[in-house]
Amino acid sequence: DAGITQSPRHKVTETGTPVTLRCHQTENHRYMYWYRQDPGHGLRLIHYSYGVKDTDKGEVSDGYSVSRSKTEDFLLTLESATSSQTSVYFCAISESARSSYEQYFGPGTRLTVT
């Protein structure tokens, strides 16, 4: 299995509080991604990174920010959590964004905003 960990694995927080999720990889892959998974919506891209300090928005980026100060870590921050951000969050990595390169997924973080 690709070396991807996510922390925390579960979190319950209150509306209006800031939350940071961490993705850590040991594969030295250039690309890292944050997705959210919701029933009826499948997997939707939030943000992705193509290098240290290089990030871009995905399909559902509103309310989220990201940072990547080291190759191995990609942080997802909810500045002020809302109930609509209750979801399962997955991190993924790939060597390249080119279509021939596989994406490897982390185990997920289940976030509940009350």
Partner 1 sequence: GEDVEQSLFLSVREGDSSVINCTYTDSSSTYLYWYKQEPGAGLQLLTYIFSNMDMKQDQRLTVLLNKKDKHLSLRIADTQTGDSAIYFCAESRGNTPLVFGKGTRLSVIA
If we measure between CA atoms, which residue out of 39, 9, 43, 3 comes closest to residue 24? 3
To the nearest whole angstrom, how small is the minimum distance from the Cβ of residue 69 to partner 1?
A: 21
Full DSSP string of 39-104: TTTEEEEEEEEEETTEEEE-TT-TTEEEEEEETTEEEEEESS--GGG-EEEEEEEES-SSTTSPPE
Single out the residue of 85, 90, 93, 113 in contact with partner 1 (rule: CB under 8 A): 90
Subset of 16-75 contacting partner 1 (CB under 8 A): 31, 33, 40-45, 48, 58-59
Q: Does 105 bind partner 1 (CB under 8 A)?
A: yes
Binding part of the chain for partner 1, among 17-25, 61-69, 77-85, 94-102 by CB under 8 A, reads: 94-102
Q: Which of 19, 11, 26 lies closest to 106, judged by CA? A: 26
Give the binding site for partner 1 (CB under 8 A).
Answer: 4, 31, 33, 40-45, 48, 58-59, 90, 92, 97-100, 102-108
